[in-house]
Chain A
Amino acid sequence: MVEERFVQGNEACALGAIAANCRFFAGYPITPSTEIAEQMSILLPKYGGSFVQMEDEIASAGAIIGASWSGMKAMTATSGPGISLMQENIGYGFITETPIVIINVQRGSPSTGQPTMSAQADMMQVRWGSHGDYEPIALAPSSVQEFFDFTIKAFNLAEEYRVPVTVLADEVVGHMREKLIIPDDIEIVTRKRPEKVDGQYLPFDAPCDGTTPMPAFGDGFNIHVTGLTHDERGYPDTNDPDTHTKLVERLCNKVLMHRKDICSVKKENCDDADIVIVSCGSPYRSVGAAMKKAREEGIKVGSLKIDTPWPFPEEEIAEIAKTASDIIVPEMNLGQIVHEVERAAHGEANVHLIGKIGGILHKPDEIYDKIKEING
């Protein structure tokens, strides 16, 4: 039965995780993500799952990787300072191809910064925070409903591609209350488990853009899970350039070559637009009123909302850059996603940043004023 509730974004996230069959949460509560840990500690025991409050975020990321290798869908939730501590284990998650979901409810940074204030400070940290070459997947919700939907989608993508997936929320979307509709037909993806084989089992013998079925500890397979460069058997092979190239290129390709299936954007009024506002997460909520006001004055303004900052929707941005003269990027930082937009636009449109820090969401008029300034 379809259920309607009036809840905070953080609560919707926890409900989404439960709906996606997440049955393990390890975390260290931190503002402004704390309600997620609180809700998971209430919900998980009711569903036969486990909640562990860890000693820190390093251990939290380690615990969910271990739980995932035990066959569980596992999640943690944190904010900037915790995300920084998790980076080493997140890299381990990439090279060991471990499906995990990390919720980052962003706050003012760097360091402990502004615990109770909103920001999009970690857009690039999700992309490059752990050392090495890898291709992350991240989703950025702009409403309570999306926080629920994107959490489910994060689990589905993690399970399908065997990668850590991050939900990049922020304090605004984490704490606002709105109507949440919980549908009764939710699509859930669960990782494939390998069949028993005669002879040698090759746990990482995957096509160049793919991954392999993932066994759980206790399934009876002998498997070595290591952060070292490994061959298709899973054995460390750290001196052979070909082994390393093949592994790391595959880890990237399995996301990049499926960009079309993973990337999601929402376009409004883009067809005839001279100016397109490209937003991601909460700042999208300030776009609609600015666009409407400008359209009423005959200024052709469109909106492109990025649901998936990673992998970056390059083709979609390139396409609007060909038809629009100007692109406006409102961000709750001093300029992160704007660099990706500039790169993808290939100089075909002028790209303008509205960078805002301090903790307060852009007001619609701040975007409208920039539209007027560009329109002359």
Chain B
Amino acid sequence: MRTEVRIAGFGGQGVIMAGVIIGKAASLFDNKNAVQTQSYGPEARGGASRTEVVIDDDEIDYPKVTSPDILVAMSHEALIKYMGDLKDEGVLIIDPDMIVEEEIVDFVNEHKIKLYRAPATKTATEDVGLRIVANIVMIGAIVKVTEVVSVDAAKQAILDSVPKGTEDKNIQAFEAGYALL
């Protein structure tokens, strides 16, 4: 089955890294097929940034996301910019501290969106003690809610992607995110 995931935030939050890790987890460690793409251009710096991952047991022809099954938003600007084509009854995971929820209530109700709140930035800062691992915390929350990749594959992909010496902090971040939901 084809699953389309979009992760959005602002440049610097590591959303593209999160997409690469999920794609890598599916492709190399869950033995599925995955294609990862990302917003690319001058607007990516500082403004809204986006990565998309298509995951399928079968071969993937069309590599781009057309209407995501799963949308993850780590900033309000990116949420508003990229939520429009989320599938009806789709999964929306937000970092509640970064989002003005009143502005999306109508959208969520109208499209029967399954809304989850994962305070990734706060958890990274307060529980892990390292704000920059918010993206990894968010991967934990995504895996818990959607099972889009397995826990083992996600951990292996994280270890394969993060700088040497930061493995423990990143796995701790993943587990903290997994426990949020």
Q: Using a CB–CB distance below 8 Å, which chain A residues touch chain B? A: 4-6, 32, 116-117, 171-172, 175-179, 285-289, 361, 363-364
- Name the contact of B23 in the complex, choosing from A171, A177, A361, A364 (C-beta under 8 A): A177
Stretch at the interface among B3-11, B37-45, B130-138: B37-45
Q: Please, which residues of chain B bring their CB within 8 A of the CB of A363?
A: 62, 66
Instruction: List CB contacts (< 8 Å) of B1-46 with chain A.
Output: 20, 23-24, 27-28, 33-38, 40-42
Tell me the minimal C-beta distance from B18 to chain A in angstroms. Answer: 13
Give A117 to B24 CA distance when docked, in angstroms: 24
Q: How many A-B residue pairs have CB under 8 A?
A: 57
The answer to whether A286 touches B35, judged by C-beta atoms less than 8 angstroms apart, is no
The answer to whether A4 touches B61, judged by C-beta atoms less than 8 angstroms apart, is no
* A178, A361, A363, most chain B CB atoms within 10 A: A178
Q: Which residue of B lies closest to A364 (CB)?
A: B62
The answer to whether B40 touches A6, judged by C-beta atoms less than 8 angstroms apart, is no
Given known contacts A6-B23, A6-B24, A176 and B61 CB-to-CB distance under 8 angstroms: no
Give 9 A-B contacts (CB < 8 Å), ordered by A residue.
A6-B20, A175-B40, A178-B34, A178-B35, A178-B36, A179-B28, A287-B61, A361-B63, A363-B62
Give A364 to B59 CA distance when docked, in angstroms: 15
- Name the contact of A176 in the complex, choosing from B24, B35, B42, B59 (C-beta under 8 A): B35
* Nearest 5 CB-CB pairings of A with B: A288-B61, A116-B41, A177-B36, A6-B24, A179-B27
Give A286 to B61 CA distance when docked, in angstroms: 6
Q: Please, which residues of chain A bring their CB within 8 A of the CB of B37?
A: 175-177
Tell me the minimal C-beta distance from A118 to chain B in angstroms. Answer: 10
Tell me the minimal C-beta distance from B28 to chain A in angstroms. Answer: 5
Cβ contacts B56-78/A at 8 Å (1 or 0 each)? 00011111101000000000000
Residue count of chain B within 8 Å CB distance of chain A:
21
The answer to whether A4 touches B28, judged by C-beta atoms less than 8 angstroms apart, is yes
Tell me the minimal C-beta distance from A284 to chain B in angstroms. Answer: 8
Give A359 to B63 CA distance when docked, in angstroms: 15
Q: Which residue of B lies closest to A284 (CB)?
A: B61
Tell me the minimal C-beta distance from B85 to chain A in angstroms. Answer: 12
Give A32 to B28 CA distance when docked, in angstroms: 26
Tell me the minimal C-beta distance from B48 to chain A in angstroms. Answer: 15
The answer to whether A285 touches B40, judged by C-beta atoms less than 8 angstroms apart, is no
Give A172 to B64 CA distance when docked, in angstroms: 9
The answer to whether B62 touches A289, judged by C-beta atoms less than 8 angstroms apart, is yes
The answer to whether A364 touches B61, judged by C-beta atoms less than 8 angstroms apart, is yes
Give A172 to B40 CA distance when docked, in angstroms: 11
Tell me the minimal C-beta distance from B11 to chain A in angstroms. Answer: 14
Q: Please, which residues of chain A bring their CB within 8 A of the CB of B24?
A: 6
Give A186 to B4 CA distance when docked, in angstroms: 34
